[in-house]
Chains A and B, each alone.
Chain A
Amino acid sequence: MTDDTAAPPVLALRGLRKQFGQKVAVSDLSLDVPAGTMLGLLGPNGAGKTTTLSMTTGLLRPDAGTAWVLGVDVWRNPAEAKARMGVLPDGIRMLDRLTGAELLRYSGLLRGMAEGEVVSRAGELLEALGLADAGSTLVVDYSAGMRKKIGLACALIHAPRLLILDEPLEAVDPVSGETIRQILRSFVAGGGTVVLSSHVMELVESLCDRVAIVAEGRLLANGTLDEVRAGMTLQQRFLSLVGAHELGSETLSWLRSS
């Protein structure tokens, strides 16, 4: 790495590129996430957010470029890089014929943790996220919000230094949502780093201190929350970057006539 700043970035994406057939999903994307920050990754549907996160976490091999986690190349040295990451993927099935407690124990043991530690942390996580009562229900029978929560618990159990969360608060009720925000804030306060993707501007504004905006596979803006906002609300700034889709006065006029 050519970075010569004092604190090297926890996550460094370098020239990531992915093409599906004719469609370029992610094009030459580079991004640094410094330690102890929470980065909100924003972008319209199909902007390449999930593709980027998949290439960062080892689920999708990039056509070019790579990702570095704490100075370890995800694609050269996957085991070491993955040990430092906790990931909550979106739109991917979980091993849902396990109960929540079993899934959590499984995630911990796969990470090579000692059994006693897995058991005590799993109990704490289930309690904190309000899943203790659902301990003997199969994950396949969980609601969407409960699945998000157990997925988050699986990402946290090995106390990673970097959390990568795809839509962490989607479908989560307000009470659990506040719990998750508290967990993430104290994680960052303790020196941890979070990358989360979201469509909810208010969530990003209230939770994140850094923002990156991608559209059509390219990075359009990246910096601290205030730098990116540049005096506007995040919503306005986002629309001005991505391009708002103004409805003409005649479009959908039939909707008003009834």
Chain B
Amino acid sequence: MVALLVGLRWRQLGHQLARNPWMIVTLIVTGLMALGFVALLAVGLLALRLAAPESAVTAMVLVGAVIVAGWWVGSLLVSGDDALAPERFALLPVTARTLLPGLAIAGATTIGGIGTTLALLLMLVGWSVNGVAAIAALVTVPLALAVCVLGARVITGVLAGWLARRRARDLVMTVGVLLLACSGLIVNLVLSALRHVGDVGEVFGGLAEVLAWTPVAAVFGVPAALVDGDLVAAGLRLLIALATVAALWAAAQALLAARLVAPIQSSGGGRVRSGGAVDRMLPANPVGAIGARSLRYYRRDPRQVINVVMMLFLPAIVVGVLVMNGLGDESLAFAPAVVLVPAINALLAGTIVQMAIAYDNDAVALHILSGVSGRADRYGRLLGFGVIAVPLTIALCAASCLLVGRLDLLPASLGAALGLSAISAGAGAFTGSFLPGRAPAPEASPFGRGSSGGVQSLIAMAVMSPITLVLGAPALGFAIAAIWNPALGWVSLACGLVIGAAAVWGGAVLGGRILERRWPQVLAEVSSES
């Protein structure tokens, strides 16, 4: 049974790869990133081992806890497309008792599981401060992996009923992506907060000491106690770790047994408010209808909710990082540059418009069947995006000017941000007609296997960036010059608006013409993954 399930898991992955060459590219990129992360961990551990062997123990326990917590929380994000979901076995005469070992080992031999094993083995570098501890750590690697895999199973199992509702899945995905996007900033914030509280090393040491007694990190607490030569603590922590695995095993088996006889069906999210305000605001023609539909999707499709929220967060993150790196004290001269930060949204604007068809996936067939002109498609999507992006950009520009107390720079800020974003959106409308990219299917998890839009989007980015930089040079140049001579801000604003409008027009016309020639190919490209 074990070999059968593990084989099934790998065969599924193999078939997926064979069917879609882009996924191989994605897998290689992901694999390289994972390897890079593991290498980073190795270098960090080695440095720690050589430079500060006494703090290695603390670091080991914390790294271990992060790995376990990552599995537990991460399992929520990828729960949407579990290839070995219990429901798939509901019709077969199998019991939870015979199924669970196979499912657990199949979970441990995924790409994530192998990466985790590698990371756990690398941690031996850190444990090598003490021979006994290193041996204990090596022996407990399977135990640690079991805590990860079984914990993930239990958490998704417990929350499966809740996650079966579309609203819940949407929420988890949105929050997950935003947390990931802001993770760097959050870590920074926590660290600086700790610095205010007192000695970071001491806080971490205490935290590790506490975690080592909890199920999350008890398994890493065993070698930690051995380094200190505390055999009693080591024994107790080993007991906690074993009890954790036993309890998780029992819980996973009970949950699996329950789901085998009462499969959980995915259900919907109930009714929505269908406001007519959007329809009244936009004209009742194809362009207006496509704009209104785009607006609804920015609100109802979690993948696009993320895009819109990111337009708010990205400048905030950049400003946050600038502030944190001591912009306030020595390099005061650069403070006014903050008013140019909202222009960074141009990066997002291009990709959002370029990927619009990919997000629709094969549902875009409605546009093809109804014979709507390519130009109306492009203008409609740009219109929907503009209704959100323009007020948002103006608000961000005003906020950034207020932040540095230079309201006289508002025209420059607007010129750079609106101009670059409009040019980028126009470039996106053009590029999206021949490089629509690929997005995970509407119902799939954006974290799951198959989100290979990245590679094609990178190529599209390589097309859009030069266009945006060349056409946006006047608006951006005059905006930078305006920091010394605020009057030039008006020139920047004029350049931004005129060139931006021209870029939107050009992108829609050229993109629309290409779309009309390539509709069937575009449909095949955006739907090929499903």
Contacts and interface: CB of A to CB of B under 8 A. Distances in A.
B286 A59 contact: no
A63 B527 CA distance: 20
A183 B373 CA distance: 30
A102 B285 CA distance: 14
B360 interface: yes
A107 B366 contact: yes
B301 A97 contact: yes
Contact of B289 (A78, A101, A110, A154): A110
B372 interface: yes
A144 interface: no
Contact of A141 (B269, B274, B285): B269
B436 interface: no
Given A82-B370, A106-B289, A110-B286, A92 B274 contact: no
B465 to A, nearest CB: 30
A78 B284 contact: no
Contacts of B323: none
Interface stretch (B24-32, B224-232, B292-300, B333-341): B292-300
Given A98-B293, A110-B372, A138 B273 contact: no
B289 A92 contact: no
A78 B371 contact: yes
Interface centre among B267, B292, B363, B442 (most CB of A within 10 A): B363
Nearest to A158: B370
Nearest to A114: B284
A111 B296 contact: no
A58 interface: yes
B383 to A, nearest CB: 13
Interface string A141-164: 100000000000010000000000
B279 A135 contact: no
B271 A110 contact: no
A141 B265 CA distance: 12
A87 interface: yes
B272 A81 contact: no
Measured as residues with beta carbon below 8 angstroms from the partner, the interface class of chain A is 35 or more
Interface in A79-137: 79-83, 85, 87, 89, 92-99, 101-102, 105-107, 109-112, 114-115, 118, 135-137
B361 A93 contact: yes
B519 interface: yes
B134 interface: no
Contact of B369 (A58, A96, A98, A140): A58
A199 B200 CA distance: 71
A154 B365 CA distance: 13
A58 B274 contact: no
Nearest to A57: B369
A99 B300 CA distance: 11
A229 to B, nearest CB: 33
Interface string A67-78: 000000000001
B453 interface: no
Interface string B337-379: 0000000000000000000000011110111111111000000
B523 A82 contact: no
B272 A136 contact: yes
B369 A59 contact: yes
A60 interface: yes
B290 A110 contact: yes
Nearest to A138: B272
Given A105-B279, A136-B274, A97 B370 contact: no
B274 A110 contact: no
Contacts of A83: 371
B371 A140 contact: no
B293 A95 contact: yes
B366 A95 contact: yes
11 contacts: A59-B369, A60-B520, A93-B361, A95-B360, A97-B442, A105-B279, A109-B286, A111-B372, A136-B272, A137-B268, A137-B270
Given A92-B363, A97-B300, 4 more contacts: A57-B369, A81-B371, A99-B274, A102-B293
